[in-house]
A and B are shown apart, each in its own frame.
Chain A
Amino acid sequence: MKKAIRNTTIADRILFLLLIVTSIAGLVYTREAFSLGSDVLVEVNGKPVYTLALDVNTEISIEGTDGRTVLEIKNNKVRMREADCSNQTCVKQGWISKGTIVCLPNNIVVIVGSRSKKDIDAITG
């Protein structure tokens, strides 16, 4: 293994560093852009369906394009508790307090921390 590392070319190392720096910069940036908010936005097929408060414990059933999923909000965390799909990826993701849960087979996207009108802080009128 050591020999293999020594075998890397200068370009390999530069590329590796560049990728690491870019991804970490990206991580920091997205963390800032998606600062902790208290809304849970549920979208089916790209359309907002529910906007829920993160600090109210609830459980809702969401009709996706291919089946039904059950979303649970508890103690400021969100998880997909059940999903009518083969891969169960969203269920395995577990509890999140920030970021997104995506259920590809059902076209369901759950976003925590972003507002439905993301660039607007309040509406008058």
Chain B
Amino acid sequence: MNALRNISLLILILLTSALSCSFGKASVFSKTMPLMDTMVSITVVADSKEAAESAMQRTFAEIGRFGELINFYSENSELAGINRNAGMHAVKVSPESLDVIEQAVIAAEKSGGAFDPTIGPVVRLWDFPNRRKPTEFELAQALPLVNYKDILIDRAAFTVFLKRKGMMIDLGGIAKGYAADLAVESLKKEGIRSGLVSIAGDIRTFGVKPDKGLWVIGIKNPRQTGERDEIIARIRLGDKAISTAGDYERFFLSEGKRYHHLLDPKSGYPAELCRSVSVIAEKGVITDGFDNAIFILGPEKGLKLAKEIGVDAIIIDGSGTIHMTDAIKDKITIEKGH
């Protein structure tokens, strides 16, 4: 009978250890909410559902608050205040608004104006859902108002001033990445050590998954072949940000041409050299700021800019060919058939 007792004892030990492993273990929790006119998803690794829920709740609130400050379409946002008072007087804003505008100006400077936050007057002329493009006359009037050098930022007084009347800042090309940075800071403050924030296509990751693996991000195929959310490549990230600008997000086709929302600040028309550009860097404000710039510059100049500012980029050009910076090559897996 000794053998039997030993066997049952062993089974008991095995069972208990198997069960105890499954308790108090870090799990992945995620939640999606509509904020900043898009869907915001937060994924966190936490020991308990309660800890995850409260951290996510506060972070969503933080994203929502920031989103309202810089909402281009809301009358009450700080950004609307700046735009309304263009050419008149400086407007006092909160530190986050000031910071994101300053970062936008830096991105504009570094990209030689390929990204320009003052593109607002041109953006307003395009109506993608209703397939409306601006007339030459409208564009000729709006284009002179586009110049980031006419944004005056007073860091000491926390004010922003647009020099000429009619100027408008549109932070659509950088705010979501900045919000992802804010969200990650908020999650860390709530004690979360690992997670992922995705605001539309702007993603910030930090820490590792419970299985110690890196976060895997799929890059959408700019020309979907039917299956929803078909991806063209996947990439593994630790403490990083990734943003993608694509000509498929908001567009209409007219006379065989694709008119999309990534407008060249110099011409006021959509840039045609790329289908999509993904940028990888430490911060979302960098990736989101430069994905548009690189898209507008095209594969050649875009890759050059990426190297200059020290970010990684994956560029799918107009013919569907994939170009990328060297450092990213061993972290990316291109899907079969591409």
C-alpha spacing A119/B278, complex, angstroms: 20
Instruction: Say yes or no: A38-B229 contact (C-beta < 8 A), given A123-B220, A125-B244.
Output: no
The CA of A37 and the CA of B278, in the complex, are separated in Å by 28
- Are A125 and B220 in contact, CB atoms less than 8 angstroms apart? yes
- Cβ contact within 8 Å between B242 and A124: yes
Interface membership of chain B positions 299-331, coded 1 if the CB is closer than 8 angstroms to chain A and 0 otherwise: 000000000000000000000000000000000
Q: Are B231 and A31 neighbours in the complex by a CB distance under 8 Å?
A: no
Q: Is the CB of B203 within 8 A of A124?
A: yes
Residue of B nearest to A53 (CB): B32
Q: A35-B210, A53-B32 are in contact. Are A124 and B10 (CB under 8 A)?
A: no
Listed residue (A32, A35, A122, A123) with the most chain B CB atoms within 10 angstroms of its CB:
A122
Residue A11 CB within 8 A of the other chain: no
Chain A residues 11 to 62 lying within 8 A of chain B, measured CB to CB, are 13, 16-17, 20-21, 24, 27-28, 31-32, 35-39, 53, 55
Q: Identify which of A6, A31, A35 gathers the most chain B CB atoms within 10 Å of its CB.
A: A35
Question: How many angstroms from the CA of A125 to the CA of B218 in the assembled complex?
Answer: 9
| B1-52 contacts to A (CB < 8 Å) | 1, 3-4, 7, 10-11, 14-15, 18, 21-22, 25, 27-32, 41, 43
How many angstroms from the CA of A6 to the CA of B210 in the assembled complex? Answer: 45
Cβ of A10 to closest chain B Cβ, rounded Å: 9
Of A28, A39, A117, A124, which contacts B278 at CB under 8 A? A124
A35 near B216: Cβ-Cβ < 8 Å: no
Q: Is B234 engaged at the interface, CB distance under 8 Å to the other chain?
A: yes
Query: Does B246 sit at the interface, judged by CB under 8 A?
Result: yes
Given contacts A17-B7, A28-B18, contact A125 B196 (CB under 8 A): no
Residues of A within 8 A of B246 (CB): 125
**Interface flag for B222 (CB, 8 Å):** yes
Q: Label chain B's interface by main secondary structure.
A: strand
CA distance A37 to B28 in the complex (A): 6
Chain A residues lying within 8 Å of B18, measured Cβ to Cβ, are 24, 27-28
Q: Which residues of B contact A21 (CB under 8 A)?
A: 14
In the complex the two chains form, what is the Cα distance from A24 to B121 in whole Å? Answer: 64
> Inside 8 A of B216's CB, which chain A residues have their CB?
119-121
Cα distance A22–B222 when bound, in Å?
45
Determine the chain A residues whose CB is within 8 A of the CB of B222 once the complex forms.
125
CB distance from A20 to the nearest CB of B (A): 6
Is the CB–CB distance between B7 and A38 below 8 Å?
A: no
How distant is A114 from chain B, measured CB to nearest CB, in Å?
11
Q: Which residues of A contact B43 (CB under 8 A)?
A: 121-122
Question: Which of A17, A31, A39 contacts B10 (CB under 8 A)?
Answer: A17
Given contacts A2-B1, A17-B10, A24-B14, contact A120 B234 (CB under 8 A): yes
- Determine the distance from Cα of A120 to Cα of B215 in the docked complex, in whole angstroms: 8
Task: Judge whether B211 and A13 touch: CB under 8 Å.
Answer: no
* Cα separation A37 to B14 with both chains bound (whole Å): 26
User: Do residues A122 and B217 form an inter-chain contact, with CB atoms below 8 A?
Assistant: yes
Task: List A contacts of B181 (CB < 8 A).
Answer: none
Write the chain B residue with the least CB distance to A120: B218
| Chain B residues closer than 8 Å to A119, beta-carbon distance | 216, 234
B83 at the interface (CB under 8 A from A): no
The distance in angstroms between the C-alpha atoms of A36 and B30, with both chains bound, is: 10
* B30–A37 CB distance below 8 A: yes
Question: Can you report 21 residue pairs joining A to B where beta carbons are below 8 Å apart?
Answer: A21-B14, A24-B14, A24-B15, A27-B18, A28-B21, A35-B28, A36-B28, A37-B28, A38-B29, A117-B231, A120-B217, A120-B231, A121-B209, A121-B215, A122-B41, A122-B215, A122-B218, A123-B219, A123-B229, A124-B202, A124-B217
